[in-house]
Structure 1
Amino acid sequence: MKDFFTQFDFQSNLLFQELTPEENQLVCNVMEPLTIKKGNMLFYEQGIPTGIFQIKHGKAKKFKRGFSGDEQIFYIYTDGDVLGYHALLGEERYQDSCQALEDLEANFIAKDDFLRLLKEIPSLQHTFIKNISHEFGVLANTIAVLAQKDQKTRLAIFLLLLEKRFSQNSEKVQGIDLTRDDLANIIGTSQESLGRNLKQFKEEGIIEIDKRKIYIKNRYPLLQFLDLKLADLQ
């Protein structure tokens, strides 16, 4: 169901899609290419924003540390996603962190250039404001899932969402390639509990595991957790 994925998708990869060729060229003119190594930070909590990022190739995680120091991952960014603009537009420090999950290529737009673009391209300003409102809804939906759903339902939801995100720029379905620690942080559980549920899903033929990659083999049992039909995910 398109609405199912939309309510958990920032859709920041669409921010520049409505630009005219001339407007798009203005954006490209101020982009600086970057290569960010796996494990390095794009930005960190309480850091001062200096610009925005667009991921060209690769994946990064958006997370916040709790009082105990544990991570809570709220989102996985993939190709085309734009990030880092909330704190910049709000004129405040970053309230979360973003770390590369693999070596990635990105474009960087410096703060002054980005703010100038918003003035020169009124439609871009409107698009960013609209997207921030949408992302607030996505985070609210994510928090509701973490707070209200049982562990197996959370796992079912995030397996479907992650498969969609990891495969959205590929002609074929890709495996969910995350460490067990990161996957446990996403669904809000311990590695031990996650391991037990993954083992059960595997024994029931729902998933297949190849090293750390997870492939969904049978969606029907996952959809039963969500009261959805297979057609709802088309």
Structure 2
Amino acid sequence: MSIRSLFPFEKWDFKSESIMAGLPEEDYALLTMHQTEHLYGKGEIIFREGGFPTGIFFIKEGKVKKYKADKDGREQIIYVANTGELIGYHAILAQDHYPDSAAALENSIIIFIPKEDFMEAMKLSEVLSKRLLKTLSHEFSVLANSLSLFTQKSVKERLAIQLIILREKYKVDFKPGMHVEINMSRKDLANLVGTARENVVRLLTELKQAGILETTGSKITILEVEKLLLIANS
């Protein structure tokens, strides 16, 4: 049985990968007319909160964290964007500054699409505009669910939920029965869960002792996803 039949991924996961997939050829050509490709190293900033957008970003390969930082530099990771997803378009649609920051979680290939091309494609492509509207509506629901996550779930439940979501994002050439390796620093994982790094380290040790996962350096391998689902209580 697929884990997707057991866990409500749609409650916690944005769906911006559907925006670009299968666009009509002429719409895609218009959108990508002046695109440029860039390599970002792990930890490298893609855009910063408060900056003014000059375009949007398509993740051709890799993973990106979207986060907000307080005045002391402490981060709260809002979302982990995966290969195939589009980021940075909210600020352009709102005609405002970036509401958050984005940085590469691993070496990533990012395509930059100028604002002018994005806006022109939006104006001329009914398919693109409808997809963006649908995606934005879904993202509002995800953010509402994320707020309830912090008020209604324990730290252990939040960690279990995030590990299940990350397991899905880190799948590569997956076949049933395969283990999935998550590669994320304990600091980033703590910032995603919304707790101290020490709490994440302690809880991962508990889960490891229970045989639910294995850890090697920053890597986490989920061995018993069904047990993790029970802990998530979702």
TM-score (norm 2): 0.91
2:147 to 133, 143, 146: 143
Q: Deviations over 1:65-88 (max 9, x none)?
A: 135431100111111110000011
Q: Does 1:51 align with 2:55?
A: yes
Matched letter for residue 48 of structure 1: F
User: What residue number does 2:77 align with?
Assistant: 73
Which residues of 2 match residues 1-234 of structure 1 at below 5 A?
1=4, 4-167=8-171, 169-171=172-174, 173-227=179-233
Q: Give the Cα separation in 1 of the matches to 2:25 and 2:104.
A: 30
Identity of aligned residues (%): 38
Unmatched tracts of structure 2, length 5 or more: none
Please identify, of 196-205 and 219-228, the stretch whose mean Cα deviation from structure 2 is larger.
Answer: 219-228
Q: 1:226 to 1:195 in 2, by over 3 A?
A: closer
Structure 1 runs, 4 residues or longer, greater than 3 Å off: none
Is the CA contact (8 Å cut-off) linking 2:155 and 2:195 kept in structure 1? yes
Q: 1:184-224 deviations in whole A, cap 9, x for unaligned?
A: 11111111111111111000000011221101101232121
Using the alignment, how far apart are the partners of 2:42 and 2:214 within structure 1? 26
Q: Unpaired segments of 5 or more residues in structure 1? A: 229-234
SS at match of 1:48: coil
What is the one-letter code of the residue matched to 1:89? L
Kindly tell me: are residues 221 and 10 of structure 1, through their superposed partners in 2, closer, same or farther at Cα, counting changes over 3 Å? same
Aligned with 1:163: secondary structure?
A: helix
User: RMSD of aligned C-alpha atoms?
Assistant: 1.6
Equivalent-residue separation in structure 1 for 2:76 and 2:173 (angstroms): 27
- Which shows bigger deviation, 207-216 or 25-34? 25-34
Task: Letter of the 1:146 partner, please give it.
Answer: F
| TM-superposed deviation, 1:174 | 3.1
Confirm or deny: 8 A CA contact 2:54 2:114 kept in the other structure: yes
Letter in 1 for 2:127: S
* Structure 1 residues 102 and 219: CA distance shift in structure 2, 3 A: closer
Deviations 1:89-133 (A, max 9, x none): 100101100011222111111011110111121221111121111
State the AA in 2 paired with 1:80.
Answer: G
Aligned residues: 227
Residue 112 of structure 2 aligns to a residue in which SS?
strand
- SS in structure 2 of the partner of residue 161 of structure 1: helix
Letter in structure 2 aligned against 1:206: I
